[in-house]
Structure 1
């Protein structure tokens, strides 16, 4: 878990997408997150965490449904949302942190 902590403790804000291979809405988020990544370039890092392969991380952050996104800034959870969001909505929310 220390590697996950290293990832979220970077100076650059990190958006973590908790997902699962069997989750339809998670698949819908993939192109949306690509659009968000293209919008922010190096100002935001996006990391995908499969809850089935990383149950300890999912449990630590109380992930009960997927997709769930958590934005970490300086290692701290700054924003959290479950469910699918459109790219423009997500960018609008993230602008307050990035």
Structure 2
């Protein structure tokens, strides 16, 4: 049993902050508009960029990296939930994407 909560894309609350912990190239290819991007390995050094009062909805490509990030955030006093299935589930659910690379947005 994990010590953090997991939520499906279809059940995401509207008032949370989506935190994308994928690599830069993945973010540039396609991400949710308005999401905050901090790659997993940079999270400890960039923690001050996150508001400890926000409800963080942590996402990666399929859910593995975001699970590790969520566990770490919760252990450090943040309110965080893991997005089940990650950006793959986001895309499957028909949620909108934007890209930073001039190409049609996609999930890598």
Q: Specify the TM-score bucket, using the shorter chain as the normaliser.
A: 0.3 to 0.5
TM-score by length of 1: 0.35
TM-score by length of 2: 0.33
Give the helix-richer structure, 1 or 2. Answer: 1
Give the strand-richer structure, 1 or 2. Answer: 1
